[in-house]
Amino acid sequence: MSAIFGNIRFDGNPVERPSLEAMQSALAAHGADGGLWLEGSAGLGHRLMRFTPQDVYERQPLVSDDGAIVLVADARLDNRAELLRDCKLEIGDWVSGQPISNLQSPISTPPDSALILHAYQRWGEACVQHLVGVYAFALWDARAQRLFAARSPIVAPSLYYTTRPGRFAFATAPRGLHALPDLPRALDDTGLLRWLTGLGGDARTTLYRGVNALPSGHWLRASRAGVETGCFWQPDLDREQRFASDDECLEAFNALFERVVADHLASTTPVALQLSGGLDSSSIAAVAAAQLGERGARLAAYTEVPRAGFDGAQPRGMYADETPLVTAIAGMVDHLDLNLVRTDGDFFLDDLPGMFEHLEAPFRNNANRVWIEAILRTAGARGQRVLLDGMQGNLTLSWHGSGWLASLLGAGQWNEAARQVQGMARTRGWPRAGRALIGQGVLPLLPDAWWLGLNRLRHPRQDAGQALLAASPINPAFAAAHGAPDLAHERSNAVRARLRANTRPLRDEALATQDFGAYLSAYRAMVGVDMRSPTADVRLAEFCLALPEDQFWRDGESRRLIRRAMAGRLPPAVLDNNQRGMQAADWFERLVAARTQVDAELARLERSATAQRVLDLPRLRALYDRLPANAAGATGDFVPYIYVLQGGLMLGAFLRWFEEGA
């Protein structure tokens, strides 16, 4: 997989080679090998880091036989056999003039860039409808004098672009664009507002002025006429896939899941897994370990746990230590090597400049940074350069089926709805069942106006603008200057995200917008490990979105599909568990232990002009002053410490890093 970049001129002037070389140098961390192609008004380049057997044969930029098309791709394709068949490719078709020896099979040989190029030659821009995998690519079509680019749905490497009069440029990371002499490195206030509040701009908005992000599942077309973008992945949310029996549905799911996991195991090195006691990553463990075992290999599993003896209070329905569950998994799943990862004494503010250098943004969910990086570095140091995870599985294979009660009530099936509530009461108790009846059964059926009115009755004194400020470290003056209170009121009146009987649109939007591409690309460059999420695979998402809700919840059992699929493959303690593990459970204890470090960072922020303008530093200081001396006796609302103090410290450190010109 690669970092890709390019510089195109539509003003009739040639692209300057030094500009391409500067971009290539800026992206050097993304791969030791690289190549440039330059001809007239267009120039493309890449940096290559090899992870799969096919990467050995990558020679990019890749030029078509007739010289009309040039492609650069950061890709791992999973439907290689289907593409070879549909494009009618034979060995030798994929690269001209380069003899290949010791080929094992046609499927295992052609590099992914060649398959994308042939797909474009056959289907044109509609090729994106035929590609399955994780990719970002761009190609220059000399005949049309047009650049076409795309990112895969749900999971994709990052891709940024900038437009100037008569010019267009793209790169895997913002620093590739900032290497250009005519793009000053400057922060964007709308991007900062969006990071702090989720308001303003859209998915293309970034923290950098003049730099846009191409969303996942989108294409881009740049020509003399300008730049267009559009979404190419939109599942048919009205389609419902019913099977003749539950067993037939389960058989189809298992076959697909086995294929998806197998595709994600393509690697030239041993494979590792980020394992929790939940259903998503543990299901990957069961399937991946069995497949690797058939090859005589093993799966290394890494689990984050708090310090030994930690007994801090956790939110209702959550537990702090995954050790009992993952130990049970390791005892049942063959070919699995469990590693418990403790990061005692580490704090999320440690060594931030190195992370900023690659991510070029603050880290979300900042307390998780410590253990995520610890797992990545440990796996990389042991030569395990592919790390699987269960990201977004709660929207696909382990969906809880929360729309079914409303569907039953809306269809007048009162007796069946009552039976389902009784089933939940038997397994989880009447209080939980009663909350489900109201929250998942009745409220989704209310008209939008009634739903909004009920929300106002539940929170009569809560002003949307004030609530926004309460949960964010944003400076109130900065928020007001950029219209944040009005945007907050507008969002508070939105009904788009409310739970309904048909949950498909809500799940589809979450899958389409929870874009982790920047982290995927940054950490690949930083530690040389490729993070992969089988549970977010587009084929799995489309299959699960089409299933009726009763495949996910029935007889009081939520997440029914994956529980049935893993029966006999995972221990009962995991299959029957209805609680969730708390990530970075000891975060508050670490915060208290780092008082001196926090105080010093606040002092630095109080001397930063940018931090003073953007952040509510007096509030951060007040929260610090109220920080107890000992976490063991702390009580009260921890939310301001999670989102305001820690969030403000993370963004503030990023602002300082930027100010200092790193």
Q: State pLDDT tens for residues 507-546.
A: 999 999 999 999 999 999 999 999 999 999 999 999 999 9
| Position with higher pLDDT, 419 vs 230 | 230
Mean pLDDT for 208-228 is 97
Residue 271: in which H helix or E strand, if any?
strand 271-274
For position 103, what pLDDT does the model report? 31
pLDDT of residue 485: 87
The mean of the pLDDT values for the chain is: 91
What is the CA angle 294-295-299, rounded to 5? 85
Q: Give the pLDDT confidence score for residue 162 in this predicted structure.
A: 98
Tens-place pLDDT, residues 37-54: 999 999 999 999 999 999
Q: Would you say residue 102 has pLDDT above 50?
A: no
pTM beyond 0.75 = yes
Please choose, from the candidates 165, 161, 164, 142, the residue with its C-alpha nearest in 3D space to the C-alpha of residue 150: 161
Domain assignments of the chain as residue spans, ordered by start: 2-231, 246-398+514-581, 402-445, 449-500, 587-659
Q: Evaluate if residue 630 carries a pLDDT over 50.
A: yes
Give the pLDDT confidence score for residue 94 in this predicted structure. Answer: 43
- With bands split at pLDDT 50, 70 and 90, how would you rate the model's confidence at 108? low
Helix axis angle, 647-659 relative to 352-359, nearest 10°? 70
- For residues 310 and 490, the model is more confident at 310
Q: What percent of the chain has pLDDT over 70?
A: 94
Residue 88 Cα distances to 114, 459, 508, angstroms: 13, 62, 33
Angle between helices 246-264 and 279-294 (to 10 degrees): 70
Indicate if the pLDDT at residue 618 is higher than 90.
yes
pLDDT at 644 > cutoff 90: yes
Sheet holding 69-77, edge to edge: 62-63, 69-77, 133-141, 146-151, 218-223, 226-231
- Which residues make beta-bridge pairs with 295? none
Would you state the pLDDT for residue 106?
A: 47
Q: Decide if 397 contacts 535 (C-beta within 8 A).
A: yes
Q: Exposed/middle/buried for 311, CB within 10 Å: 0-12, 13-18, 19+?
A: exposed
Looking at residues 33-40, what average pLDDT do you find?
91
Write out 390-410 in H/E/C secondary structure: CCCHHHCCCCCCCCHHHHHHH
Instruction: Compute the Cα dihedral for 272, 277, 280, 284 and give only its sign.
Output: positive
Distance CA 361, CA 643 (A): 17
Q: Please give the pLDDT value at position 272.
A: 98
Q: pLDDT at residue 273 above 60?
A: yes
Provide mean pLDDT across the span 1-11: 92
pLDDT of res. 460: 67
> Assign residue 446 a region: left if phi > 0, alpha if psi is -120 to 50, beta otherwise?
beta
Model confidence at 101, in pLDDT bands (50, 70, 90)?
Answer: very low
Cis before 270? omega within 30: no
Q: How many CA atoms lie within 13 A of 429 on its CB side?
A: 3
pLDDT band at 104 (very low <50, low <70, confident <90, very high): very low
Judge whether residue 140 has pLDDT over 60.
Answer: yes
The predicted-structure confidence for 151-202, as pLDDT tens digits, reads as follows 999 999 999 999 999 999 999 999 999 999 999 999 999 999 999 999 999 9
> What is the pLDDT at residue 225?
94
Cα separation of 71 and 61, whole Å? 6
CATH class of 2-231: alpha beta
Rounded average pLDDT over 474-497: 85
Residue 641: predicted pLDDT? 93
* Higher local confidence (pLDDT), 18 or 314: 18
In which element (H, E) is residue 257 found? helix 246-264
Which range is least confidently modeled, 339-353, 363-377, 447-461?
Answer: 447-461
Residue 490 — pLDDT band, cuts 50, 70, 90? confident
Q: Indicate the class that CATH gives domain 246-398+514-581.
A: alpha beta
Per residue in 426-482, pLDDT tens? 887 888 888 888 888 888 888 888 877 887 777 666 677 777 778 899 999 999 999
